[in-house]
Structure 1
Amino acid sequence: MKVTWWGHATTTIDMHGTRLLTDPVLTYRLAHLRRRRGPVPGPEAGHCDAVLISHLHSDHLHLTSLRLVSPKAIFIVPRGAARLIRQQCGTSYGDRCVEVTPGEKVRINEVDVTAVPAHHDGRRGPWTPVRAQPVGYRIDSSSPSVWFAGDTDLFDELGSQVGPVDLALVPVGGWGPNLGPGHLDPIRAAEAVRRVRARAAIPVHFGTFWPVGCDWLRQELFLPPGERFVSAMTAADPQVRVDLLAPGDTTEVLHA
């Protein structure tokens, strides 16, 4: 299995030729945010069999980026998201959506994608009633198993409802000078990986986007969360392999 991190929460997971794309943001700008590190993903980033959307926030459900995805790819989305996609992108996009709630499974070729719980804000934004229950995803096949967390905080049932897995794609930071509730910092991310009993981890959701004109503001929250996660993971469980990638990097994960 190969995993490419495109920046933020966007990854390609390639299992036996089945390509899954998580929370795609494939542009240079996202509203008031700009890509500060790494190249803008090229057309190959949009080549996939399915897109996994974790929740409605625009840095995870980025409608512009959905238009850059393979036209035959399906969108696996939290229940309630398809209506928004249909309204904003058109019927042809809404018809490609498969809505899920925690525990529901979708099979794509030889790969099983199961929605798992996530503790995060389910609104599209603070001034809209549009909402959907956030999810993460567990991905299984004869290749290593993967947990894509989306955005989440720690919760009591995390280990029992997600793990064990071979690889955790875990958020360790954010995109601005504050990390609000419903997120993991590097220390809490290491605890999440420990709870799901992952044997490998890739930190994501850091070191990519930042508000325009704020490059100088709280720089310790931009790039350092990756290295801090490595240190925290070593302290929590030194047996876990951590791949600290730069945007655009690819790593291979072998089955145990």
Structure 2
Amino acid sequence: MFFHRKRYTNLDDVPTGKTFGEMLQWRKERKAKIKDLSYTIPQCREVDLAFLKRNRTAPLLVWIGHASFLLQIHGLNILIDPVWANRMGFEKRLSPPGLPLDELPQIDIVLVSHGHYDHLDFPTLRRLQGNPQFFVPIGLGRLFRKKGFRRISEFSWWEQAEHGGVSFHFVPAQHWTRRSLFDTNTSHWGGWVIQFGQEPALYFSGDSGYFRGFQEIGERFSIGIALMPIGAYEPEWFMSNQHMTPEESIQAFLDLRASLFIPMHYGAFRLADDTPKEALDRLQREWKRRELPSKQLRILQLGEMYWPT
């Protein structure tokens, strides 16, 4: 029966569930806050869509917005947590996606970190060009098949697969998931480490609170680019087990021993009480306070085509 499906947990059984009373307290606090949402993430003015469609040689990373990225590597077009939705719940999207959905190249692989709606949007997936293979956390395959998708591979933590000379490793995160009243944590959550040739790996954290797993990931992999979340952390008493503050995200980056920090998970959807400007300001202030090299932090514009040289 549906109600007897396996429920997944975090390392050390760290809880992320909240009581109804805590939810009410958060809503009460939110009403008392006055937030300036006028700042929007800059949009790249020159996006070479024709090049993206024909590119099969140059490595490229494009930030779509929130936690959505297009990665072009080893001749593959890879989408990470693709969400082109214009709304999230009752809230309108704060900034448009960096690329038009219908102008994407043919997609080979789609990576999904977990089942929350801001990371998994089936209307987006149905409009993708090509015949992609979907790599998803254990427990999500059932929902994908119910929605009519067939090319599904499910992963538990530390499992991996290869495709076109690229290795995809599903790694732990500290989070939770739910898409309806009765399916809480019936699928898992995590991040992805993408290895290609002899180059340092690319790490996508997914959603996560700060936890000891970052150190283990850094011990197992040599990470170059780290795509790290900096938003949806306020109020911290409510969000801390499931989302990191910008300061915690920097500490996680150091635990990973990665080379380059690229912030994500801010600017598109109002999931918590912090604003995009607050998240960026805290990130840059902490970066300076720790006296970290400026070349190790890259803040992308929406739609910007980037690869470190």
TM range (shorter): 0.7 to 0.9
Q: Is the 8 A contact 1:49 1:70 kept in 2?
A: no
Alpha carbons of structure 1 residues 45 and 120: separation in structure 2 relative to 1, 3 Å: farther
Alpha carbons of structure 1 residues 168 and 55: separation in structure 2 relative to 1, 3 Å: same
Distance in 1 between residues matched to 2:243 and 2:97, nearest whole Å: 25
Alpha carbons of structure 1 residues 32 and 243: separation in structure 2 relative to 1, 3 Å: same
Paired residues in the alignment total 243
Alpha carbons of structure 1 residues 139 and 108: separation in structure 2 relative to 1, 3 Å: same
Partner in structure 1 of residue 86 of structure 2: 28
Q: Which amino acid aligns with 1:242?
A: L
Q: Which amino acid aligns with 1:106?
A: A
Greater percentage in strand? 1
Partner in structure 1 of residue 242 of structure 2: 182
Cα drift, residue 83 of structure 1: 0.6
Correspondence 1:32-111 to 2 at 5 A: 32-39=90-97, 41-42=99-100, 43-45=102-104, 47-87=106-146, 89-90=147-148, 93=149, 95-111=150-166
The answer to whether the aligner puts 1:153 opposite 2:209 as a matched pair is: yes
> What SS does the aligned partner of 2:223 have?
coil
Distance in 1 between residues matched to 2:248 and 2:70, nearest whole Å: 24
The answer to whether the aligner puts 1:12 opposite 2:70 as a matched pair is: yes
Distance in 1 between residues matched to 2:291 and 2:173, nearest whole Å: 23
User: If you compute each CA radius of gyration, which structure gives the higher value, 1 or 2?
Assistant: 2
> What SS does the aligned partner of 1:210 have?
coil
Q: Which amino acid aligns with 2:282?
A: R
> What SS does the aligned partner of 2:270 have?
strand
Partner in structure 1 of residue 278 of structure 2: 224
Distance in 2 between residues matched to 1:103 and 1:186, nearest whole Å: 26
Larger CA deviation: 158-167 vs 74-83 = 158-167
Larger CA deviation: 228-237 vs 172-181 = 172-181
Q: Which amino acid aligns with 1:65?
A: T
Distance in 2 between residues matched to 1:237 and 1:196, nearest whole Å: 18
Distance in 2 between residues matched to 1:129 and 1:4, nearest whole Å: 32
Distance in 2 between residues matched to 1:15 and 1:175, nearest whole Å: 32
Partner in structure 1 of residue 38 of structure 2: none
The answer to whether the aligner puts 1:205 opposite 2:265 as a matched pair is: yes
Long gaps (5+) in structure 1: 212-216
Q: Which amino acid aligns with 2:216?
A: S
Q: Is the 8 A contact 1:194 1:236 kept in 2?
A: no
Long gaps (5+) in structure 2: 1-58
Q: Which amino acid aligns with 2:179?
A: R
Give the structure-2-normalised TM-score.
0.72
Q: Is the 8 A contact 2:98 2:302 kept in 1?
A: no
Q: Is the 8 A contact 1:53 1:76 kept in 2?
A: yes
Q: Give the RMSD, CA atoms, in angstroms.
A: 2.4
Partner in structure 2 of residue 136 of structure 1: 191
Cα drift, residue 185 of structure 1: 1.4
Give the structure-1-normalised TM-score.
0.86
Larger CA deviation: 25-34 vs 192-201 = 25-34
Cα drift, residue 231 of structure 1: 2.9
Greater percentage in helix? 2
Q: Which amino acid aligns with 1:98?
A: S
Superposed CA deviations along residues 124-176 of structure 1, whole A, max 9, x for unmatched, are: 34x22252111100001124411100101121132222443101001100398
Larger CA deviation: 32-41 vs 163-172 = 32-41
The answer to whether the aligner puts 1:252 opposite 2:307 as a matched pair is: yes
Distance in 2 between residues matched to 1:201 and 1:69, nearest whole Å: 28
Q: Which amino acid aligns with 2:87?
A: R
Partner in structure 2 of residue 238 of structure 1: 292
